[in-house]
Amino acid sequence: MIVESTLFAPVQSTTAFEETLERLGTAIKLGLLQPGTRLPAERELCEQLGIARSTLRQALTALVQSGHLKAVRGRGGGTFVAEVLPSVGPPSEELLGRWREACDTRLATELGVAVLAAERAEPADAERLNELVGVMAQSLEDFEAYRLADVHFHIGLAEAAGSASLVASMTEAQSVMTDLIGHIAHPPEVLAWSNAQHARLVDCLLRHDPALALRIMAEHLRGTEHVLAGLLP
Protein backbone atom coordinates (compact mmCIF):
# COMPACT_ATOMS: atom_id res chain seq x y z
CA MET A 1 0.00 0.00 0.00
CA ILE A 2 1.08 3.59 -0.59
CA VAL A 3 0.78 4.36 3.14
CA GLU A 4 3.37 1.73 4.04
CA SER A 5 5.78 2.75 1.29
CA THR A 6 5.48 6.38 2.39
CA LEU A 7 5.86 5.61 6.10
CA PHE A 8 9.08 3.67 5.58
CA ALA A 9 10.40 5.63 2.60
CA PRO A 10 14.00 6.85 2.85
CA VAL A 11 14.46 9.79 5.21
CA GLN A 12 15.45 12.83 3.19
CA SER A 13 16.17 15.38 5.90
CA THR A 14 19.68 16.12 7.10
CA THR A 15 18.28 15.91 10.64
CA ALA A 16 17.73 12.17 10.30
CA PHE A 17 17.15 11.50 14.00
CA GLU A 18 14.39 14.07 14.37
CA GLU A 19 12.70 13.08 11.11
CA THR A 20 12.79 9.38 12.00
CA LEU A 21 11.33 10.08 15.44
CA GLU A 22 8.62 12.25 13.89
CA ARG A 23 7.80 9.69 11.19
CA LEU A 24 7.35 6.83 13.64
CA GLY A 25 5.69 8.96 16.31
CA THR A 26 3.14 10.29 13.84
CA ALA A 27 2.35 6.80 12.57
CA ILE A 28 1.77 5.61 16.14
CA LYS A 29 -0.36 8.59 17.05
CA LEU A 30 -2.55 8.18 13.96
CA GLY A 31 -2.95 4.46 14.49
CA LEU A 32 -1.13 3.53 11.31
CA LEU A 33 1.14 1.51 13.60
CA GLN A 34 -1.39 0.11 16.04
CA PRO A 35 -0.83 -0.89 19.70
CA GLY A 36 1.07 -4.15 20.00
CA THR A 37 2.50 -3.94 16.48
CA ARG A 38 6.06 -5.23 16.23
CA LEU A 39 8.37 -2.94 14.27
CA PRO A 40 10.52 -4.46 11.52
CA ALA A 41 14.02 -5.59 12.48
CA GLU A 42 16.59 -2.81 12.90
CA ARG A 43 18.55 -3.85 9.81
CA GLU A 44 15.40 -3.78 7.67
CA LEU A 45 14.28 -0.43 9.06
CA CYS A 46 17.71 1.09 8.48
CA GLU A 47 17.70 -0.06 4.87
CA GLN A 48 14.16 1.22 4.26
CA LEU A 49 14.73 4.58 5.91
CA GLY A 50 18.27 4.97 4.57
CA ILE A 51 19.77 5.81 7.97
CA ALA A 52 22.55 4.50 10.18
CA ARG A 53 21.72 1.96 12.88
CA SER A 54 22.96 4.37 15.57
CA THR A 55 20.48 7.00 14.34
CA LEU A 56 17.61 4.51 14.35
CA ARG A 57 18.47 3.28 17.85
CA GLN A 58 18.56 6.86 19.10
CA ALA A 59 15.08 7.51 17.71
CA LEU A 60 13.70 4.22 19.04
CA THR A 61 15.15 4.91 22.49
CA ALA A 62 13.50 8.34 22.55
CA LEU A 63 10.13 6.79 21.64
CA VAL A 64 10.54 4.14 24.34
CA GLN A 65 11.27 6.86 26.88
CA SER A 66 8.23 8.83 25.76
CA GLY A 67 6.01 5.79 26.22
CA HIS A 68 5.14 5.28 22.54
CA LEU A 69 7.23 2.12 22.12
CA LYS A 70 8.16 -0.81 24.34
CA ALA A 71 11.41 -2.76 24.02
CA VAL A 72 11.15 -6.47 24.86
CA ARG A 73 14.31 -8.51 25.36
CA GLY A 74 14.88 -12.21 24.88
CA ARG A 75 13.27 -14.78 22.65
CA GLY A 76 10.32 -13.32 20.78
CA GLY A 77 11.47 -9.86 21.74
CA GLY A 78 11.80 -6.73 19.69
CA THR A 79 10.36 -3.24 19.62
CA PHE A 80 6.59 -2.97 19.90
CA VAL A 81 4.09 -0.12 19.82
CA ALA A 82 2.91 0.47 23.39
CA GLU A 83 -0.49 -1.01 24.24
CA VAL A 84 -1.39 2.15 26.15
CA LEU A 85 -0.09 5.40 24.71
CA PRO A 86 0.81 8.48 26.76
CA SER A 87 -2.17 10.56 27.80
CA VAL A 88 -2.72 13.87 26.07
CA GLY A 89 -2.12 16.92 28.21
CA PRO A 90 -3.72 20.35 27.81
CA PRO A 91 -3.14 22.01 24.42
CA SER A 92 -0.16 24.30 24.22
CA GLU A 93 -0.50 27.99 23.54
CA GLU A 94 1.45 27.46 20.32
CA LEU A 95 -0.99 24.79 19.13
CA LEU A 96 -4.01 26.89 19.97
CA GLY A 97 -2.45 29.92 18.34
CA ARG A 98 -1.97 28.23 14.98
CA TRP A 99 -5.06 26.05 14.73
CA ARG A 100 -6.62 28.16 11.97
CA GLU A 101 -3.39 27.96 9.99
CA ALA A 102 -3.47 24.18 10.43
CA CYS A 103 -7.02 24.12 9.10
CA ASP A 104 -5.98 26.22 6.10
CA THR A 105 -3.17 23.79 5.27
CA ARG A 106 -5.52 20.85 5.60
CA LEU A 107 -8.06 22.59 3.39
CA ALA A 108 -5.54 23.08 0.59
CA THR A 109 -4.46 19.44 0.76
CA GLU A 110 -7.83 17.78 1.12
CA LEU A 111 -9.66 19.76 -1.55
CA GLY A 112 -7.09 18.71 -4.13
CA VAL A 113 -7.22 15.12 -2.92
CA ALA A 114 -11.02 15.04 -3.18
CA VAL A 115 -10.93 16.20 -6.79
CA LEU A 116 -8.22 13.79 -7.88
CA ALA A 117 -9.75 10.87 -5.99
CA ALA A 118 -13.11 11.47 -7.66
CA GLU A 119 -11.39 11.50 -11.04
CA ARG A 120 -9.13 8.50 -10.52
CA ALA A 121 -10.70 6.17 -7.95
CA GLU A 122 -11.29 2.54 -8.82
CA PRO A 123 -14.35 0.65 -7.51
CA ALA A 124 -12.11 -1.16 -5.01
CA ASP A 125 -11.04 2.21 -3.56
CA ALA A 126 -14.64 3.23 -3.01
CA GLU A 127 -15.42 -0.15 -1.45
CA ARG A 128 -12.61 0.20 1.10
CA LEU A 129 -13.70 3.72 1.99
CA ASN A 130 -17.31 2.62 2.32
CA GLU A 131 -16.22 -0.06 4.79
CA LEU A 132 -14.61 2.68 6.90
CA VAL A 133 -17.85 4.68 6.74
CA GLY A 134 -19.56 1.63 8.21
CA VAL A 135 -17.01 1.36 11.00
CA MET A 136 -17.51 5.02 11.89
CA ALA A 137 -21.29 4.59 11.87
CA GLN A 138 -20.88 1.88 14.50
CA SER A 139 -18.43 3.92 16.58
CA LEU A 140 -20.35 7.09 17.35
CA GLU A 141 -20.06 6.40 21.10
CA ASP A 142 -16.39 5.38 20.88
CA PHE A 143 -14.38 8.32 19.62
CA GLU A 144 -11.01 6.53 19.56
CA ALA A 145 -12.39 3.88 17.21
CA TYR A 146 -14.17 6.54 15.16
CA ARG A 147 -11.07 8.68 14.84
CA LEU A 148 -8.89 5.76 13.76
CA ALA A 149 -11.33 4.94 10.95
CA ASP A 150 -11.60 8.65 10.14
CA VAL A 151 -7.84 8.97 9.70
CA HIS A 152 -7.73 5.90 7.48
CA PHE A 153 -10.64 7.28 5.44
CA HIS A 154 -8.90 10.56 4.63
CA ILE A 155 -5.57 8.89 3.92
CA GLY A 156 -7.49 6.37 1.82
CA LEU A 157 -8.80 9.23 -0.31
CA ALA A 158 -5.20 10.27 -0.97
CA GLU A 159 -4.37 6.68 -1.88
CA ALA A 160 -7.30 6.67 -4.30
CA ALA A 161 -5.78 9.77 -5.92
CA GLY A 162 -2.71 7.64 -6.63
CA SER A 163 -0.14 10.07 -5.25
CA ALA A 164 2.47 9.14 -2.67
CA SER A 165 3.28 12.80 -2.03
CA LEU A 166 -0.37 13.56 -1.32
CA VAL A 167 -0.53 10.58 1.06
CA ALA A 168 2.42 12.11 2.93
CA SER A 169 0.78 15.56 2.98
CA MET A 170 -2.53 14.08 4.12
CA THR A 171 -0.81 12.12 6.89
CA GLU A 172 0.87 15.28 8.17
CA ALA A 173 -2.39 17.23 8.04
CA GLN A 174 -4.22 14.49 9.93
CA SER A 175 -1.48 14.44 12.56
CA VAL A 176 -1.92 18.13 13.31
CA MET A 177 -5.70 17.77 13.38
CA THR A 178 -5.41 14.86 15.80
CA ASP A 179 -3.42 17.10 18.13
CA LEU A 180 -6.22 19.67 17.95
CA ILE A 181 -9.38 17.59 18.12
CA GLY A 182 -8.00 15.47 20.95
CA HIS A 183 -8.80 18.44 23.21
CA ILE A 184 -12.50 18.87 22.40
CA ALA A 185 -15.68 16.97 23.15
CA HIS A 186 -17.09 14.65 20.46
CA PRO A 187 -20.91 14.55 20.57
CA PRO A 188 -22.29 11.55 18.62
CA GLU A 189 -24.55 13.87 16.67
CA VAL A 190 -21.58 15.77 15.32
CA LEU A 191 -19.80 12.54 14.41
CA ALA A 192 -22.89 11.20 12.63
CA TRP A 193 -23.17 14.40 10.60
CA SER A 194 -19.52 14.25 9.65
CA ASN A 195 -19.80 10.61 8.65
CA ALA A 196 -22.78 11.34 6.44
CA GLN A 197 -20.44 13.61 4.47
CA HIS A 198 -17.95 10.75 4.24
CA ALA A 199 -20.66 8.60 2.68
CA ARG A 200 -21.47 11.33 0.16
CA LEU A 201 -17.80 11.56 -0.79
CA VAL A 202 -17.72 7.83 -1.49
CA ASP A 203 -20.72 8.29 -3.77
CA CYS A 204 -18.83 11.01 -5.63
CA LEU A 205 -15.97 8.58 -6.21
CA LEU A 206 -18.34 5.97 -7.59
CA ARG A 207 -19.92 8.52 -9.92
CA HIS A 208 -16.61 10.24 -10.76
CA ASP A 209 -18.01 13.64 -9.84
CA PRO A 210 -15.04 15.85 -8.83
CA ALA A 211 -17.07 19.07 -8.69
CA LEU A 212 -19.48 17.69 -6.11
CA ALA A 213 -16.63 16.02 -4.21
CA LEU A 214 -14.93 19.41 -3.97
CA ARG A 215 -18.07 21.02 -2.55
CA ILE A 216 -18.74 18.27 -0.04
CA MET A 217 -15.15 18.22 1.17
CA ALA A 218 -15.18 22.00 1.61
CA GLU A 219 -18.34 21.68 3.72
CA HIS A 220 -16.77 18.85 5.69
CA LEU A 221 -13.63 20.80 6.53
CA ARG A 222 -15.41 24.05 7.30
CA GLY A 223 -17.61 22.10 9.67
CA THR A 224 -14.54 20.92 11.54
CA GLU A 225 -13.36 24.51 11.82
CA HIS A 226 -16.66 25.55 13.35
CA VAL A 227 -16.50 22.71 15.87
CA LEU A 228 -12.96 23.65 16.82
CA ALA A 229 -13.91 27.31 17.15
CA GLY A 230 -16.73 26.38 19.48
CA LEU A 231 -15.07 23.70 21.59
CA LEU A 232 -11.35 24.43 21.82
CA PRO A 233 -10.30 25.93 25.17
Distance CA 30, CA 44 (A): 22
Q: What is the pLDDT of residue 63?
A: 87
Alpha helices in the chain (DSSP H): 2-7, 16-30, 42-49, 53-65, 93-97, 99-120, 123-137, 143-161, 164-181, 188-207, 210-231
List the pLDDT tens digit at each of the 233 positions of the chain.
Answer: 666 666 677 776 657 887 888 788 888 888 889 999 999 999 999 998 888 999 899 888 888 888 889 999 878 789 999 998 876 556 667 767 788 888 999 999 999 999 999 999 999 999 999 999 999 999 999 999 999 999 999 999 999 999 999 999 999 999 988 888 888 878 898 899 899 999 999 999 999 999 999 999 999 999 888 888 877 76
**CB-based contact 124:131 (threshold 8 Å):** no
The superfamily in CATH containing domain 93-231 is GntR ligand-binding domain-like (1.20.120.530)
Alpha helices in 162-209 (DSSP H): 164-181, 188-207
CATH for 2-81, options being 3.30.470.20, 1.10.10.10, 3.40.50.850, 3.40.50.720: 1.10.10.10
- What is the number of alpha carbons within 13 Å of residue 115 lying toward its C-beta? 9
Is there a common fold for 2-81 and 93-231?
no
In the chain, domain spans: 2-81, 93-231
Collapsing DSSP to helix, strand or coil, 79 comes out as strand
Residues linked to residue 70 through DSSP beta bridges, in sequence order = 80
Residues linked to residue 38 through DSSP beta bridges, in sequence order = 80
Q: Provide the 8-state DSSP code for 98.
A: T
